[in-house]
Amino acid sequence: MFKKISLVFIAALVITSCAKEEVPLKVTPNDYNNAVDKVTEVIIHDIFSPPVASRIYSYSNIAAYEVLAQNNSDYVTLAGQLTDLKETPKPDAGASVNYDVAALIAQMEIAKSLIFSEDRITEMRDSLYMKWEDQNPTELAASKDYGLKVADHIKSWMDGDMYKQTRTMPKFSVNPDNPSRWQPTPPAYMDGIEPHWMKIRTFVIDSASQFKPIPPPEFSMEEDSEFYKQLMEVYTVRNEMSDEGNDSEKVAIAQFWDCNPYVSTHKGHLMFATKKITPGGHWVGIVKIATKKANADLMETVYAYTKTSIALFDGFISCWDEKYRSNLIRPETLINQHIDDSWAPVLQTPPFPEYSSGHSVVSGAAAEVLTQIYGDNFQFDDDTETAYGLPIRSFDSFRQASSEAALSRLYGGIHYRAAIDEGLKQGRQLGQFVVKNLIMKTNTAQASN
């Protein structure tokens, strides 16, 4: 009898020793950076326009932030602050939720629902699931349930933002009889993109027109008019940059901030696209640089991505509202028609009206948010464009970077001075409004920074 009991006891010990001990799951800031990088990779692959890309970044980051904020008393939920966003659901009582894991799952689920190439995010997600399942299946199951619950909540809210309705609205109608109105530009002569983006529901600003800029200079081809002077500035700056490599720094600035997701290239009868990052994607990349330099933990990393992407999202709505209101013709069109039919800008002119400058608006907005988080003298080396063969550029502050991004549009030959200056002002005012009105940290947490 004793022998039988001993054998049973030994067998139990063997089984126990063979059972793998579950370890707490861990998500690092770099894991989250990789997830955002994957979103950028897919946005580039799928060729989403800048406004649509901002929507993908913002909703996926908001989902992650909302998960983490439920478990961190230093941070405040966005429910009740972002337009129409209701209270975020809590996990089931007693569930062994790892909020970091749940946040990353929510981010991936929302991103996957907003892009075409779902398999690229699914592959990344499944790789993480396999690793987590091996480490702690119990914690993974609970975290997955909660992450998907929050993702469903964000999806329900997202569905009310008018995006789906704008997919079926009519194309932008060009008015060829009015010489001041926008016309499609070479080489692809594409239709104006997202002419109804001002109808998208905003997050923090109260309407698309809240930060409506002053009108552009009155259209006139009279040589003493302000409009004509600004047109000639674009023409002259470009010509000076063509002289035997002069002003190579201006060329470098223009190319660094190009951020055109679809550059058409013609070879014979064939046309193909060179795919690149969007303006919002460039600033999302700067968030990564800043959080890594600041050695931010996961919560602060997600916070910085989320607040910046919210400003970018509202910035595009504000800018696109003005673009299709003023509906101003691009410099390239007028220069080719009236001054020099062989003139071409350094950069390919994007397919939408000129005023105000999208780069100026969203760069100004993003820089204000990042300045609030990391201060006005945050030096950083911007390597966002190295993947496209461009060298690193260094900046002493986010506002300095935003000013250069705005001015790059003059050097690129695609914007008049007014669109740049007023666009930057528009974006900074919007960014300051987001900083003031979107409370994401408690008073105690803000005081400790």
pLDDT tens digit sequence for 146-172 = 999 999 999 999 999 999 999 999 999
Residue 155 CA to residue 372 CA, distance in Å, equals: 29
Residue 264's pLDDT band, with cuts at 50, 70 and 90, is confident
One-letter amino acid for residue 134 of the chain: D
| pLDDT greater at residue 272 or residue 11 | 272
CA dist., res. 201 & res. 203, Å (int): 7
Q: Are 211 and 317 a contacting pair, CB within 8 Å?
A: no
| Phi–psi pair at 382, nearest 5 degrees | -90, 105
Count of CB atoms situated within 10 Å of the CB of 49: 19
Give the number of C-alpha atoms closer than 13 A to the C-alpha of residue 326, restricted to the C-beta side: 25
Tens digit of pLDDT for each residue in 349-367?
Answer: 999 999 999 999 999 999 9
* pLDDT > 90 in the chain, percent: 88
Backbone angles phi, psi at 380, to 5 degrees: -150, 155
CB crowding 262-285: b at 16 or more within 10 Å, else e: bbbeeeeeeeeeeebbbbbbbbbb
- DSSP states along 116-161: S-HHHHHHHHHHHHHHHHHH-HHHHHHHHHHHHHHHHHHHHHHTTS
pLDDT digits (tens, 9 = 90+) for 307-353: 999 999 999 999 999 999 999 999 999 999 999 999 999 999 999 99
Mean pLDDT (the chain, rounded): 93
Does the pLDDT of residue 196 top 90, yes or no? yes
- Which distant-in-sequence residues (6+ apart) come within 8 Å of 89 by Cβ? 149, 150, 153
Helix ranges (DSSP H) in 272-416: 279-293, 298-326, 331-334, 358-374, 398-411
**pLDDT at residue 395 greater than cutoff 60:** yes
What is the token pair recorded at 8?
């049973």
Q: Which residue intervals of the chain bear CATH 1.10.606.20?
A: 197-448
Residues 77-92 have a mean pLDDT of: 97
Q: How confident is the model at residue 262 (pLDDT cuts 50, 70, 90)?
A: confident
Question: What whole-number distance in Å separates Cα of residue 93 and Cα of residue 60?
Answer: 25
Token pair in block for residue 177: 């009889």
- Find residue 265's DSSP bridge partners: 272
The tokens for 181 are 């109105």
The rounded distance, in Å, linking the Cα atoms of 354 and 91 is 47
Distance CA 344, CA 117 (A): 35
Report how far apart, in Å, the C-alpha atoms of 440 and of each of 66, 243, 284 are: 10, 50, 18
423 has pLDDT over 70: yes
Q: How far apart are CA 150 and CA 234, in angstroms?
A: 49
Q: CATH 1.20.144.10 in the chain, residues?
A: 24-158
| Average pLDDT value for residue range 376-383 | 98
Judge whether 394 and 370 are in contact, CB under 8 Å: no
Cα angle for residues 367, 373, 374 (degrees, 5° grid):
85
- How many other C-beta atoms are found inside a 10 Å radius of the C-beta of residue 390? 16
Residue 339, number of CB atoms within 10 A of its CB: 13
- Using the predicted structure, report yes or no on whether residue 53 has a pLDDT greater than 90: yes
Alpha carbon 348 to chain centroid, angstroms: 21
Q: Is the pLDDT of residue 272 over 90?
A: no
Higher-scoring residue by pLDDT: 175, 123: 123
Q: What are phi and psi of 328, to 5 degrees?
A: -90, 145
pLDDT at residue 274 in the model: 85
pLDDT band at 265 (very low <50, low <70, confident <90, very high): confident
Is this structure's pTM higher than 0.85? yes
Q: Is the peptide bond before 187 cis (omega within 30 degrees of 0)?
A: yes
Per-residue confidence band for 10, with pLDDT thresholds at 50, 70 and 90: very low
Confidence at residue 443, expressed as pLDDT on a 0 to 100 scale = 72
The span from the CA of 286 to the CA of 408, in Å, is 17
Residue 118 has a pLDDT of 98
pLDDT score at 391: 96
The pLDDT of residue 445 is above 80: no
For the cut 70, the answer to whether the pLDDT of residue 449 exceeds it is: no
Q: What is the DSSP letter of 308?
A: H
* Res 12 pLDDT > 50: no
Q: Angle at the Cα of 56 (from 206 to 312), degrees rounded to 5?
A: 45
Residue 328 is encoded by which pair of tokens? 């101003």
Task: Please report the DSSP string for 63-81 in residue order.
Answer: HHHHHHHTT-TTB---TTT
Take residue 449 and report the two structure tokens written for it. Answer: 């920074």
Under the banding of pLDDT at 50, 70 and 90, the label for residue 275 is: confident
Tokens 């005023």, residue? 355
Check residue 328 and report its DSSP letter: B
Q: Which CATH number fits domain 197-448: 1.10.606.20, 3.40.50.300, 3.30.800.10, 3.10.620.30?
A: 1.10.606.20
How many C-beta atoms lie closer than 10 Å to residue 344's C-beta? 16
Rounded CA-CA distance 274/388 in Å is 10
Amino acid type, 302: V
Q: Does domain 24-158 have CATH number 1.20.144.10?
A: yes
